[in-house]
Amino acid sequence: MKTILYCSFYVDKNSERRDEIFQSVKRNLYAGFDTIVYFVQTTEEGVTLFDLVSREESKSNIRIMPTSRIPEINDYLFESNTENSKEDGLTVIQNLDVSFDQENLHKLKEFFKICGSKTFAALTRWDVTKEGVFLLERADSQDTFCFTGITSNINIPCACGPGWDNRFVWEFNNAGYACVNPSKDIVTEHLHQVKRNNYRDEKSGAVIASTICPEPYLLLQQQTIAECLQKLNM
């Protein structure tokens, strides 16, 4: 099954945060995606990304998608539908600081081979800390979104930001997909140890209202693969 990853790439102003993002990008390069599509807004970001990936011996096909604005979820879905109209495959949309390794991407592919179409998986991240890697035990937080084939009747006119995960789940559930979260078994590592967040005001720490994806929302609790397959009657 052809597997394509979609991300929005940017260059953070903070050098430590930038290094974290670059580490996540490099990790995904070796996970086993057939293609990775990065949306970039500026020529500088495109050059930085090209320089970063060209120094790695990745077997993934890297595509840089220029855009004049911060991409919305609908932009990812449009590109996914274009690709899947040529060859039905597995789409993965992910936050830039989250990544797979080969073992866990293989688990995801095998899971979708069993589930088939009309299944939507939203994966909660595993936070990388100095003490180890731990699953975030929250039903309102996912950073990786996976489905097969062409989508329709789904409208998410907002960018990656607070609430986008809950809106993502609601839209796919409303479109008739069975929504699951097998993140107890499928690990996606989240590298964000630097205390910097672009969704919050630097002075007050409050979430910037314009970054919030509007409701409706739907929460999704973490499960094992076996529990998800039972939910799907597989």
pLDDT over 90 (residue 145): yes
Is 2.40.10 the CATH classification of the domain at 3-231? no
Residue 227 CA to residue 134 CA, distance in Å, equals 20
pLDDT at 86: 82
Q: What is the DSSP string of 106-132?
A: HHHHHHHHHH-SSEEEEEPPEEEETTE
3-state helix, strand and coil shares in percent for the chain, rounded to the nearest 5: 30, 20, 45
The pLDDT tens digits of the residues spanning 5-44 come to 999 999 988 899 999 999 999 999 999 999 999 999 999 9
The pLDDT tens digits of the residues spanning 167-219 come to 999 999 999 999 999 999 999 999 998 876 655 556 656 655 567 888 999 99
- Could you check whether the bond before residue 216 is cis, i.e. omega within 30 degrees of 0? yes
Residue 52 CA to residue 126 CA, distance in Å, equals 24
Residue 181 CA to residue 151 CA, distance in Å, equals 19
The pLDDT tens digits of the residues spanning 78-133 come to 999 999 988 889 999 999 999 999 999 999 999 999 997 899 999 999 999 999 99
Q: How many C-beta neighbours within 10 Å does residue 152 have?
A: 9
Q: Which residues pair with 144 in a beta bridge?
A: 94, 123
pLDDT at 22: 95
Q: Where are the domains of the chain?
A: 3-231
